[in-house]
Amino acid sequence: MRRKTVQADGSEPGLYWWVRHVDETGMSGAGRVAQVAVFEDGSAVLRWLAERNAAGVASTVVYASVRELVYVHGHGERKTGHLERAL
């Protein structure tokens, strides 16, 4: 059975996946590479998962807003990734 996926903008608090379309550096991998938690105040935390990236390193980064997270990890206007609601 295939899982249903929902692309999202992160405007609702909850748990999301960061889905990388293209791995421009060869380090972060492609597909579901990180988890994102979005809080009621709009802040967000991104957790890179060691088993899902080429570097094999886990790390956690806090952002003041989802918009900033998406801009940084989507590589600006190139939009190399998106948020997907974790169901």
Q: Where are the domains of the chain?
A: 28-64
**pLDDT interval class at 38 (50, 70, 90):** very high
Residues whose CB is less than 8 angstroms from the CB of residue 9 and which lie 6 or more positions away in sequence, other chains included: 66, 83
Which residue has better confidence, 80 or 14?
14
- Reading the block at residue 78, the tokens are 């190139």
Q: What percent of the chain has pLDDT over 90?
A: 34
User: Which tokens in the block code for residue 32?
Assistant: 């579901």
For residue 59, name the pLDDT band (cuts at 50, 70, 90): very high
pTM score of the predicted model: 0.78
Judge whether residue 46 has pLDDT over 80. Answer: yes
The mean per-residue pLDDT over the stretch 42-53 comes to 91
Taking phi over 0 as left and psi of -120 to 50 as alpha, with beta for the rest, 86 belongs to beta
